[in-house]
Amino acid sequence: MAIALAHPKHGYYRTRDPLGRAGDFITAPEISQTFGELLGLWSAVVWQTIGLPQPVSLVELGPGRGTLMKDALRAARRVPEFLAALEVHLVETSPALKTLQEGALRESGPALHWHAEVTTLPARASIVIANEFFDALPVRQFVRTKDGWAERMIGEKDGALCWTAGEPLLDDSIIPADLRGAAEGSIYEISPAAQGVIEQLAAVINQNGGGLLIIDYGHVRSALGDTLQAVKAHQYHDPLKHPGEADITCHVDFEALASAARRAGLGVFGPRPQGEFLRALGIEQRLETLVAQNPEMEEELRGGVERLIDPGQMGRMFKVMAMGKKDVPAFPGFD
């Protein structure tokens, strides 16, 4: 997964802009401007909640085309003191997307800084947003074989990639105790990379204050199951076919992220379904204002918001979880 997505020459994210109708998939900020706008105002209120630190970093992990941040910064103009206090930090590995982000954000106002990983973010109060970022981080899978749990590996057969199992684990304590007795063929996933990102951000937030907002598709409780999936041109695709040509993701295990955050001393809000969260932030009111201002775009505007909040579309499958210093007052959308 790491090689297929991030190989310097052939990696999926290194070589293209995967987003949008012409790309392989489409994300919330590309569907409706209200998404980034509400998250910009969410950030401003979090900034007030944590005591108006100056300066403050507004950080985005995996900013795609820069659309979310652009909409967020436009909305943040309503809170000029916040806009004046903030510096924008973007964590991005893709040169192609970084170029698009530069173009989208050049005229937004605040100073812009790019990072290849979270480890180089400055030690200061930080409000961090990650939409569809954690699902792109590589996972390890374990499979229950007749001889016990083994790591699921990728081999080669007749010139094609295939699944295999490694040697049975001598110590299977990596599998949660209540899942260890699962039936043969069961699969369990962990994401050490995702936990590493949480630990890094927890260190920054514990020391300097801040908040982290994670929006992604995934499950509320750790569970068995193979969630690795590949998508190419808006269609599901065999993850072992055309590595580097298809997007590969996994469902986010919110319980695992919450546990990592709590172990690192943070407080956790949610997860709650995206539809509920966006409604709590006032997406419907914002929609009516936009419709009144742009009546000729009514259908498109309503369709976009519907897609984000409808439980049958993105409203339930996508979840929102926030983290902050322990005992911080509830962040907006979680009170």
Q: Which residues bind ligand SAH (CB under 6 A)?
A: 5-6, 13, 19, 27-30, 62-64, 68, 91-94, 97, 131-133, 136-137
Min dist. Cβ of residue 159 to ligand SAH (A): 29
Q: Tokens for 129? A: 């947003």
| Closer CB to ligand SAH, 144 or 319, in the complex | 319
By the 8 A CB rule, do 169 and 141 touch?
Answer: no
Could you give the strand order of the β-sheet that contains 140-145, starting from the edge strand earlier in sequence?
160-168, 148-157, 140-145, 187-190
Distance between CA 138 and CA 134 in Å, rounded?
A: 9
Distance between CA 134 and CA 151 in Å, rounded?
A: 21
| Closer CB to ligand SAH, 64 or 273, in the complex | 64
Min dist. Cβ of residue 67 to ligand SAH (A): 6
Min dist. Cβ of residue 277 to ligand SAH (A): 15
| Closer CB to ligand SAH, 16 or 262, in the complex | 16
Distance between CA 218 and CA 136 in Å, rounded?
A: 12
| Closer CB to ligand SAH, 83 or 136, in the complex | 136
By the 8 A CB rule, do 225 and 268 touch?
Answer: no
Tell me, what DSSP letter sits at residue 204? Answer: H
Q: Which residue has the tokens 């069961």?
A: 186
| Closer CB to ligand SAH, 131 or 141, in the complex | 131
Torsion angles phi and psi, residue 317, rounded to 5: -60, -40
| Closer CB to ligand SAH, 6 or 261, in the complex | 6
Question: What are the respective helix, strand and coil percentages of the chain, to the nearest 5?
Answer: 40, 25, 35
Min dist. Cβ of residue 170 to ligand SAH (A): 30
| Closer CB to ligand SAH, 21 or 221, in the complex | 21
Alpha helices in the chain (DSSP H): 2-6, 12-15, 28-31, 33-49, 67-76, 80-85, 95-105, 192-208, 254-263, 274-280, 283-293, 298-309
Stated as kind and residue range, the H or E segment containing 265 is none
Min dist. Cβ of residue 129 to ligand SAH (A): 8
CB closest to ligand SAH, residue no: 62
Min dist. Cβ of residue 47 to ligand SAH (A): 21
By the 8 A CB rule, do 304 and 34 touch?
Answer: yes
Min dist. Cβ of residue 155 to ligand SAH (A): 25
| Closer CB to ligand SAH, 209 or 304, in the complex | 304
Min dist. Cβ of residue 134 to ligand SAH (A): 9
Distance between CA 38 and CA 277 in Å, rounded?
A: 10
Distance between CA 81 and CA 52 in Å, rounded?
A: 9
